[in-house]
């Protein structure tokens, strides 16, 4: 039987989603617990591989079990056995050809920036930027990200294909905290963190809105932006 499970986790406690031989990971913890429940090795496939330090409100994974167990029973069993920094939110039975990664229609990522005073308690959960930003210009620049593009300039590492589509970019300011939400089809390695880094250049008035557009269009930037820290990034949801 194939299951689709939705989980949340505190990424600061793990070395990323992908299973590692000698480091604690989300995938590794899930496989450890599910294999105990199944009494046979279980392999977990995720909707995406979040990096070390990245959090999730709604990561999705699929896996196959040999045993006969109800969805509610499975949720209770996993939550009783797994690390307290990972929690199962939902689970359902899916068809045998379902794939958590290949069938994704939409992902939503949120990045949180603290523009106020440094807060050591939130260091693992927001980017302590601690400076004001020109949010109006950042919003204007972000509109160029919407639609189908090659995002090569914002992707770390080599790929065969850098094309994707971003449906929305949403800004929200709550006191000192600025959140930027990206809704799109596919997000590649460091893509969200690099887009935020480039938008911060606009917010610092280091580059203009037009220069940001040229950066995206050229696929090759002469401007050096920072890959913002992983701790401010959250995978909010995955839609199929």
The residues that are catalytic are 51
Burial tier of 169 (Cβ tally within 10 Å: 0-12, 13-18, 19+): buried
Helices (H), the chain: 26-38, 71-81, 135-142, 191-203, 209-218
> What Rg value do the Cα atoms of the chain yield, rounded?
19
Q: With b meaning 16 or more CB within 10 Å and e meaning fewer, what string describes 16-26? A: bbbbeeeeebb
Count helices and strands in the chain by DSSP H and E runs: 5, 10
């Amino acid at each position: 039987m194939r299951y689709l499970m939705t989980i949340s986790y505190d990424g600061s406690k793990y070395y990323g989603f992908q299973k590692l031989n000698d480091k604690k990971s989300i995938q590794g913890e899930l496989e450890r617990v599910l294999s105990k429940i199944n009494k046979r090795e279980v392999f977990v496939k995720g909707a995406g591989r979040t990096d070390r330090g990245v959090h999730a409100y709604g990561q999705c994974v699929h896996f196959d079990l040999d045993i006969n167990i109800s969805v509610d029973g499975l949720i209770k069993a996993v939550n009783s056995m797994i690390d307290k920094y990972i929690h199962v939110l939902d689970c359902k039975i899916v068809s045998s050809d379902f794939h958590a990664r290949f069938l994704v229609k939409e992902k939503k990522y949120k990045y949180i920036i603290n523009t106020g005073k440094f807060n050591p308690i939130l260091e693992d959960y927001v980017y302590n930027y601690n400076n004001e930003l020109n949010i109006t210009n950042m919003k204007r620049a972000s509109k160029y990200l919407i639609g189908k593009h090659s995002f090569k300039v914002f992707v770390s590492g080599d790929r065969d294909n850098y094309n994707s589509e971003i449906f929305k970019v949403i800004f929200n300011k709550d006191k000192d905290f600025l959140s930027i939400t990206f809704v799109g089809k596919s997000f590649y390695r460091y893509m969200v963190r690099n887009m935020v880094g480039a938008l911060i250049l606009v917010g610092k008035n280091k580059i203009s809105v037009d220069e940001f557009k040229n950066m995206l269009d050229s696929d090759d930037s002469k401007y050096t932006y920072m890959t913002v820290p992983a701790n401010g990034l959250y995978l909010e949801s995955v839609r199929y």
